[in-house]
Amino acid sequence: MTSGNAARFRWLVLAVFVLSTAINYLDRQTLAALAPVIQREFALSDTQYGLILSAFSIPYAAVAPFAGLLIDRIGLTRAITLAVSLWSCAGIATGFTSGLGGMVACRALLGVAEAAGIPAAGKAIVTYAKAGERAAGHAMNQAATSLGMIVAPPLATWIWLRWGWRQAFVATGIIGLLWIPLWRAVGEEPAPIPPAGIAPHRDRRLWAFVVANALNAILYSLWTNWTTKYLATVFHLDLATANGYAWIPPVFAMAGGFGCGWASLVLVRRGTPTATARYRVCLACGGLALATAAMPLAASPAWAAAGISISICAVAGFSVNLYALPLDTFGASRAAFAVSMLVASYGAVQALISGAIGWTRDHYGYTPLTIAAAFTPLLACAVLRAAKAER
């Protein structure tokens, strides 16, 4: 595709790119969708399941900043080709594991490779979307995230019922490998942009974004990793029935991402400073997320799915605008690194809390988890406000 066509059809090109994000989350969520079956086969407690999540999250957090630097240095196409190849192979290998050790090793490799996914998406957004459109670009990426989460439960269940859970991991890995030639056919490597201005790591606004994302990630991690488990455990559902509800919240996450990305774009077009527009939408999302505290009152799987849907809708809308802030602040030359620091904070928090969530669930149930997590997006807004990152 020529430069002129890339500019003219930028949303189409970006849509093809963010399919990699959908595949990224499809790979991740296959484990969450099949967790009860895998736990039963390997005789794993919820605490051990949380440790498997940490095995993904620790390398994910550690590698993300280096992945961002690599993307900025070697270019978008080469970096994403390498990353998708590695994470697809890690997904396929998961289907051949024989116990906890193999599962941990495969998830660790998946974490290393997928650490490049969101920073690469940030680089693509700042490359193809105009300045005021970046939250809309992140909304598209959030939609791709949600698409992966929507597809994973029914697809994984369908494959499990016919061929077993192992083939679900193999299938999602193959889908990733098939995406690579599609992107190379339509994508164009942007010209390198010399770094300008202060280095992001020396700007306190970056650290405000990192801390805010870490707080918001607590609620996001709860529902992306534990929704199927929550429904199956609290309401004593079998896997197929639980996953019959588990695909609904990601639909609302998609709607929240699009709606909140569009909301900040409307504010910008009306003359609101870009960072202030992002912050106002984040604050509204933080208020909506308080509904999570009412989850213990849900008396049926349908009401629980509705409550989770509201919660993840809020956190997705928050995330769309928060991930746009580093692009607005630091520009295209350092886009991947700036976003990678947020990715690292997400991975670090998930690594820290996954075992704790499992332990708390084993001993006290989900009530203290949902009540505590309900307040984390508003705390994230307080961090942005204190650092004046909204101005």
Whether the Cβ atoms of residue 331 and residue 196 lie closer than 8 Å to each other: yes
What would the pLDDT profile of 73-128 be if each residue is shown by its tens digit?
Answer: 888 889 999 999 999 999 999 999 988 889 999 999 999 999 998 888 888 888 88
pLDDT given for residue 195 in this prediction: 47
309: pLDDT strictly greater than 60: yes
Query: What are the structure tokens assigned to 229, written together?
Result: 């488990």
> Residue 295 and residue 114: Cα distance in Å, rounded?
31
Residue 190 has pLDDT above 80, yes or no: no
Predicted pLDDT of residue 284: 97
Instruction: Look at residue 337 in the predicted model and tell me its pLDDT.
Output: 80
Inter-axis angle of helices 248-269 and 239-246, nearest 10: 10
Tell me which of 46 and 131 has the higher pLDDT. 46
Q: 309 or 69: whose pLDDT is higher?
A: 309
The CATH H-level (homologous superfamily) assignment of domain 3-188+200-386 is: MFS general substrate transporter like domains (1.20.1250.20)
Instruction: Answer yes or no: is pLDDT of 183 > 70.
Output: yes
- Residue predicted with more confidence, 44 or 372: 372
Average pLDDT, the chain: 86
pLDDT at 341: 87
In total, the chain counts a number of residues equal to 391
HSE (side-chain half, CA atoms, 13 Å) at 1: 22
Q: What pLDDT, on the 0 to 100 scale, is given for residue 322?
A: 92
Where does the pLDDT of residue 201 fall: very low under 50, low under 70, confident under 90, or very high at 90 and above?
low
Tokens of 324: 């746009």
The most confident of 10-19, 125-134, 216-225, 331-340, by mean pLDDT: 216-225
- For the stretch 231-247, pLDDT in tens is 999 999 998 899 899 98
What distance in Å separates the CA atoms of residue 327 and residue 275, rounded to the nearest whole number?
A: 11
d(CA 326, CA 332): 10
- Give me the residue spans of the domains in the chain: 3-188+200-386
Q: Which of 121-125, 153-157, 215-219, 257-261 has the highest mean pLDDT?
A: 215-219
- Per-residue b or e along 221-238, where b marks 16 or more CB atoms closer than 10 Å to that residue's CB: bbbbbbbbbbbbbbbebe
> What is the pTM (predicted TM-score) of this model?
0.73
The pLDDT value given to residue 194: 47
pLDDT (0 to 100) of residue 51: 86
